[in-house]
Amino acid sequence: MENSPAVAELRADRPSYLRHHFQSVEQQADASNFAMWLFLLTELMFFGGLFTAYLIYRNWYFAAFVAGSHQLNVIWGTLNTVVLILSSFTMAMGVWCAETARKSGLVLCLILTFILGLCFLGIKSVEYTEKFEKHHVPGQHYSLSSFLYPDTDEAATAAGDKPLPLDMARHTEVYFSLYFAMTGMHALHMIIGIGILVFMIVRARAGAYTVGHVTFVENFGLYWHFVDIVWIYLFALLYLISRH
């Protein structure tokens, strides 16, 4: 049976990357695309929980959340949004290069995505550094002075903040807890993505992904775009809605 002519004929037009339990390359691609989306939906639920917590606490401690948000720098946030959108674009172009078998184009796109990902983390670390310097990191050394005495704080003065009562000022720590939890989880996803990008750059240079089997690049693209979408919402909720 194993060596019968019928079996040999069946195998003849099957590319090496087509697993035996799939009938066609299309079926295999559709199945893995669907599976990747199921994973992304679990990610959506995970970030959804954080977003819900943010919504509830923002309604409870509104004044504290507005004052906390005024400590973020919109210019850095906007720059990072642009960087991430550009990286999504270069990743999408990378998928196109893989699909149309452009090896050097794919390598270039992956490297650009990698660099833009690092730029995002670099800007994020500048922002985090400022939070540490101003003692806006939740914990033992958290400082309320920006919120009790806004006159002494440049960002609070620029936003025209009024001094908060002590009990409300203390709740700015909740804002920064959620800020670090949400942007930190997002940054962790970026770091994991950048690690996978390195792996893909090495493989792409060796000629992978441009010989018809593009599933890995496509699914990574989905992951990268999802991380971009999370940031689009983080930027709106953390930086923008308390600005006016």
Partner 1 sequence: MSEHTHTIVGPKVYVSILFALLAGTALTVWASFVDLGVWNPVIALAIATTKAMLVVLYFMHVRYSTKLTKLAIAAGIFLLLTLISMTLADYVSRAWGSW
- Give me the residues that bind partner 1 (CB under 8 A), please: 23-24, 26-27, 29-31, 33-34, 37-38, 41, 44-45, 48, 51-52, 55-56, 59, 74, 78, 81-82, 85-86, 88-89, 91-93, 96, 99-100, 218, 221-222, 225-226, 228-229, 232-233, 235-237, 239-241, 243-244
Please give the C-alpha separations between residue 114 and each of 122, 184, 204, in angstroms, as whole numbers: 12, 19, 13
Query: Which candidate, 80, 73, 181, 78, places its Cα nearest to that of 137?
Result: 181
Closer to partner 1 by CB, 99 or 130: give it: 99
CB distance 172 to 155 below 8 Å: no
Closer to partner 1 by CB, 114 or 223: give it: 223
Rounded CA separation 139/152 (Å): 22
Closer to partner 1 by CB, 17 or 37: give it: 37
Range list of β-strands (E), 95-157: none
Least Å from the CB of residue 242 to partner 1: 8
Least Å from the CB of residue 128 to partner 1: 21
Least Å from the CB of residue 131 to partner 1: 21
Please give the C-alpha separations between residue 35 and each of 42, 64, 130, in angstroms, as whole numbers: 11, 41, 40
Integer Rg of the chain from CA: 24
Rounded CA separation 148/171 (Å): 12
Closer to partner 1 by CB, 20 or 141: give it: 20
Least Å from the CB of residue 216 to partner 1: 15
CB distance 148 to 135 below 8 Å: no
CB atoms closer than 10 angstroms to residue 94: 30
Closer to partner 1 by CB, 90 or 172: give it: 90
Least Å from the CB of residue 1 to partner 1: 26
Closer to partner 1 by CB, 201 or 237: give it: 237
Rounded CA separation 46/230 (Å): 11
Rounded CA separation 84/79 (Å): 9
Closer to partner 1 by CB, 114 or 235: give it: 235
Least Å from the CB of residue 117 to partner 1: 15
Rounded CA separation 96/111 (Å): 15
Least Å from the CB of residue 10 to partner 1: 16
